Structure 1
Amino acid sequence: MSAPLAESLSVVLLLAVLACTVVRPWGRSEAVFAVPAAGLVIAAGAVPLEHARAEAGRLGPVIGFLAAVLVLARLCDDEGLFRACGAWMARTAAGRPHRLLAQVFALASLITAVLSLDATIVLLTPVVFATVARLGARPGPHIHACAHLSNTASLLLPVSNLTNLLAFDATGLDFTRFAALMALPWLVAIGTEYVVFRRYFAADLAAGAQAPPAAAPAEVPVFALATVAGTLAGFVVTSAFGVEPAWAALAGAAVLAVRALARRRTTPGALLRAASVPFLAFVLALGVLVRAVVDNGLAGGLGRLVPDGTGLWALLALAALAALLANLVNNLPAVLVLLPLTAPAGPGAVLAVLLGVNIGPNLTYTGSLATLLWRRIVHEHDETVALGEFTRLGLLTVPAALVLSVTALWASLALIGP
């Protein structure tokens, strides 16, 4: 196949798969469209089979981690972790929507950082809906907070987001150093979002809410919390010894799975469904499609736009480019495309890309898979999310959060060192 034809085929198939991911024709899984498309680019010779195998090998540990953490989050839900969070919010925020918003910000940030953004979207968002309904508060600020923080709050740890996992090796950092460099940008980005939310939703937050009927405090799932803490410690230990974090996530999921199976709270089939095998296949197929696009010329074109150096202006330009690309083609393809171009410049450049692909998707529905999934969950709860309001809120939060968090990253690099 000629190079122009291979490039055209790769780009058309990638865009078609992304469009199907947004629209989900006939309610089908993303994998139904992505897997055949990946097979087609391999069969047509747009990407050599050895390149596809190399991409699969590179993504294997990432996909393994994703499966383990999805199971871990679901088992934590089965243990009552998210119900306990909802009961705590309802009990302590009664009649005070401002406090409820602060609690949603705190919980969503913590859950996203430790259990990944999927847990915030799939497990915390329904709990927030139930809590808001119980208090009679207006849902807008609290539900939008779940969407925004599933992206913004995923900056802290290598395990907080699939984009971070994809970029972790390219940074050359260990787990603790990654977290140390991203801690200040994480806090600054979340703080910026909170200030904007307080002002943007001032009328909704001033409307008041009612106190819920008195109820006994929900039981704190100590075993689940201890397992999550042990898993987090495992990430640090495995990183120190050069072991993939997937093994720590697998150990944590296995501990809770054995307990749940022994108590008959789950089944092997339920654990398999929790791992979301079709979504894992989609991630793998998407990686192959992006590799085809990169191999056939996109890397050269984007390479001319990537700034040199890791000074403040270069980091700002990198983050802006990453945010723009994430909103055009989704953040997963964006990070896969940009990593080979920025990794030679050092960890600062890669971390700036992560700021762009994690904060930037709050601007449009298509920026991240998490936002698309959030929109589906919102519709399932008979709530309407106006595109105009989502975009206006994104225009107020994304540029400010990007500029301030990139500046914080630049300061962290200067103080801590790359």
Structure 2
Amino acid sequence: MLNTVVAGVVSAVALLSVLAFAVARPRRLPEAVAAVPAAALVVVIGAVPPGRAWTQVRELLPVVLFLAAVLVLAQLCDDEGLFTAAGDLMAGTCRGRPERLLGGVFAVAALVTAVLSLDATVVLLTPVVFATAARAGTRPRPHVYACTHLANSASLLLPVSNLTNLLAFSATGLTFARFAGLMALPWLAAIAVEYAVFRWFFRADLAAWATPAEPAGRPRLPVFTLVVLALTLCGFALVSLAGHNPAWAALAGVLVLSGRALARRRTSVRELAGAANPLFCLFVLALGVVVKGVTDNGLGAVARHVLPGGSSLPALLAVTAVAAVLANLINNLPAVLVLVPLLASGGPGPVLAALIGVNLGPNLTYVGSLATLLWRRVLHERDAEPALGDFTRLGLIAVPATLAAATVALWVMLKVFGG
């Protein structure tokens, strides 16, 4: 067995290697290809004893199963034409005015992110927005950039909106509805600030008019899918209020939509299994073990020393800043795994502040969030690789402003309604 310093160094190198592999994805290999051997390594060298590794996996498993259910739910909604209908609706209401389209994209992306998670916004909505901008005759840049920023910024509202929220949800000690209630004002504040920044930053693109294509006609809304989605969302709150895992509500929604899709032969069991992305779920479990090795052998002590105590406004702002920096250094998933155990004893306030940091902070760099990396791949496939300079300049303006606005809003909610 190695001493603590060496174990910490090996674990840190393993973590950075896994993240570098996730960024590069050579030959499009799944992230689990690097994460599983790295997890095995930290267990073999004693950085994480087998018992603690198993405990970490067992604690993460319900969250990962919930993630898989939400991924399948989002894919079923896409198969039913929900995202296409959203694109038709946005194109029909913008009437050749780019700023109207931007407002529509913000509204749709915020709702999709909140209800179906940020992955749905990046992977399923971004291509629709790209095509909608072309049909509307507007420059696509502001609208597709809005998808990645809102995939992060609009993921504050519900525990299901982001994997980071799911990982931290139980530590907050809140019900589903209480979580949403406290995060509603920070969610709105972050979106409002993002919109103001986008209107200014992309003012030249939004001022450029073009002749829109002929409208596709009145959008066909998948009413059955929308009803099931609304009932599933209500189920999240009711199941959580009863003290059960919200994953049961997600599973119920999946069973209803998948049963209908299978009966109509619009999908197959194999396609549903693929939508659950089991290799990514395995990656999250393995990553949790690797992060445990880093946390237990040095990083946890450093973070504990840096993090302030209490739920005062300065303390919450400091937690948010630390979380944002850590997310951009080691990615937001490892960051939340490091921070939540250290903050849980302080009540929900510090944990929610950390979520603001790890959710909004990644808009500063490509590596801060896996969703941003997925967004880059979506644009690369369409020969529209985003410019690093534009992305960074936009982040330097938007991230500090959204972090401050959302954290102040959280402090207000905690003062008014209590933690």
Q: What's the TM-score, normalizing by structure 2?
A: 0.99
Structure 2 CA distance, aligned partners of 1:318 and 1:204? 36
Compare 211-220 and 81-90 and name the one that shifted more: 211-220
Single out whichever of 165-174 and 203-212 deviates more from structure 2: 203-212
Q: What's 1:87 paired with?
A: 88
Q: Deviations over 1:214-270 (max 9, x none)?
A: 432121101110111011011011111111111111111111000000000001110
Aligned Cα root-mean-square deviation (Å): 0.8
Shift of residue 392, structure 1, vs aligned partner: 0.3
Distance in 1 (alpha carbons) for counterparts of 2:353 and 2:215: 47
Matched residues in 2 for 1:48 and 1:254: separation?
38
Deviation digits for residues 258-307 of structure 1 (CA, Å, limit 9, x no counterpart): 00000000011100110111110110110010011111121111111001
Q: Which residue of 1 aligns with 2:231?
A: 230
5 Å matches for 1:145-156? 145-156=146-157
1:162 is aligned to 2:163: yes
- Which AA in structure 2 matches 1:144? Y
After the TM superposition, which segments of 4 or more aligned residues of structure 1 sit over 6 Å from their partners? Answer: none
Residue number in structure 2 paired with 1:338: 339
Give the conservation status (yes or no) of the 8 Å contact 2:80–2:225: yes
d(CA) in 2 for partners of 1:382 and 1:175? 40
Alpha-carbon distance in 1 for matches of 2:302, 2:79: 48
Equivalent-residue separation in structure 1 for 2:262 and 2:189 (angstroms): 41
| Alpha-carbon distance, 1:347 to partner | 0.4
| Structure 2, unaligned runs of 5 or more | none
> Are positions 1:349 and 2:372 aligned together?
no
How far apart are the structure 2 equivalents of 1:383 and 1:222? 33
Q: More displaced, 20-29 or 267-276? A: 20-29
Q: Distance in 1 between matches of 2:52 and 2:94?
A: 53
Question: In the alignment, which residue of structure 1 is the partner of 2:311?
Answer: 310
Distance 1:258 1:217 in 2: 28
Which residue in 2 is equivalent to 1:34?
35
Displacement of 1:183: 0.4
Aligned to 1:295: 296
The correspondence of residues 43-122 of structure 1 with structure 2, limited to 5 A, is 43-122=44-123
Task: Tell me the CA shift for residue 166 of structure 1.
Answer: 0.6
Cα distance in 2 between the residues matched to 1:212 and 1:91: 10
- More divergent stretch after superposition (192-201 vs 288-297): 288-297
SS at match of 1:181: helix
1:327 aligned residue: 328
CA distance, structure 1, for counterparts of residue 211 and residue 154 of structure 2 = 29
Partner of 2:396: 395
For 1:193 and 1:405, locate their aligned partners in 2 and report how far apart those are by CA, in whole Å: 11
Offset at 1:92?
Answer: 1.3
Letter in 2 for 1:398: V
Aligned position for 1:179: 180
Equivalents in 2 of 1:342, 1:193: separation in Å?
Answer: 28
The alpha-carbon deviation at position 94 of structure 1 amounts to: 2.6
Aligned residue for 1:408? 409
Q: Secondary structure at the match of 2:216?
A: coil
Equivalent AA in structure 2 for residue 343 of structure 1: A
Displacement of 1:11: 0.7
Give, in angstroms, the shift of residue 23 of structure 1: 1.2
The answer to whether the Cα contact below 8 Å between 1:94 and 1:210 also exists between their aligned partners in 2 is no
Distance in 1, matches of 2:216 and 2:32, equals: 44
Conservation of the 8 A alpha-carbon contact between 2:91 and 2:215: no
Cα distance in 1 for partners of 2:240, 2:382 equals: 40
Q: Per-residue displacement from partner, 1:35-74 (whole Å, max 9, x unpaired)?
A: 1111111122221111111111111111001100000000
Partner SS state of residue 304, structure 1: helix
* Aligned 8 A contact 2:376 2:385 in 1: no
Distance in 2 of aligned mates of 1:121 and 1:295: 33
Give the conservation status (yes or no) of the 8 Å contact 1:91–1:212.
Answer: no
Report how far residue 209 of structure 1 moved. Answer: 3.0
Deviation at 1:8, TM superposition (A): 1.3
Q: Distance in 2 between matches of 1:158 and 1:56?
A: 20
- Give me the TM-score of the superposition, normalised by structure 1: 0.99
Tell me, in whole angstroms, the C-alpha distance in 2 between the residues paired with 1:209 and 1:350: 46
2:209 maps to amino acid: G
| Residue pair 2:91, 2:135 contacting (<8 A) in 1 also | yes
Q: What does residue 207 of structure 2 align with? A: 206
- What is the distance in 2 between the residues matched to 1:212 and 1:224? 28
Q: Residue 142 of structure 1 aligns with which residue?
A: 143
Amino acid paired to 1:163: T
* Separation in 1, partners of 2:255, 2:162: 21
* Aligned-pair identity (%): 62
Count of residue pairs the alignment pairs up:
418
- Distance, in Å, in 1 between the alignment partners of 2:217 and 2:206 is 27
The CA distance in 2 between the partners of 1:224 and 1:214, in whole Å, is: 24
Deviation (angstroms), 1:336: 0.4
Residue 332 of structure 1, CA deviation: 0.4
**Which has the higher mean CA deviation after the structures are superposed, 23-32 or 182-191?**
23-32
- Residue 280 of structure 1 corresponds to 281
Equivalent AA in structure 1 for residue 181 of structure 2: A
Q: 1:174-227 CA deviation, whole Å, 9 max, x = no partner?
A: 111111110001000000000000000000000013232143212110111011
Whichever residue aligns with residue 395 of structure 1, its letter is L
TM superposition shift of 1:89 = 1.0
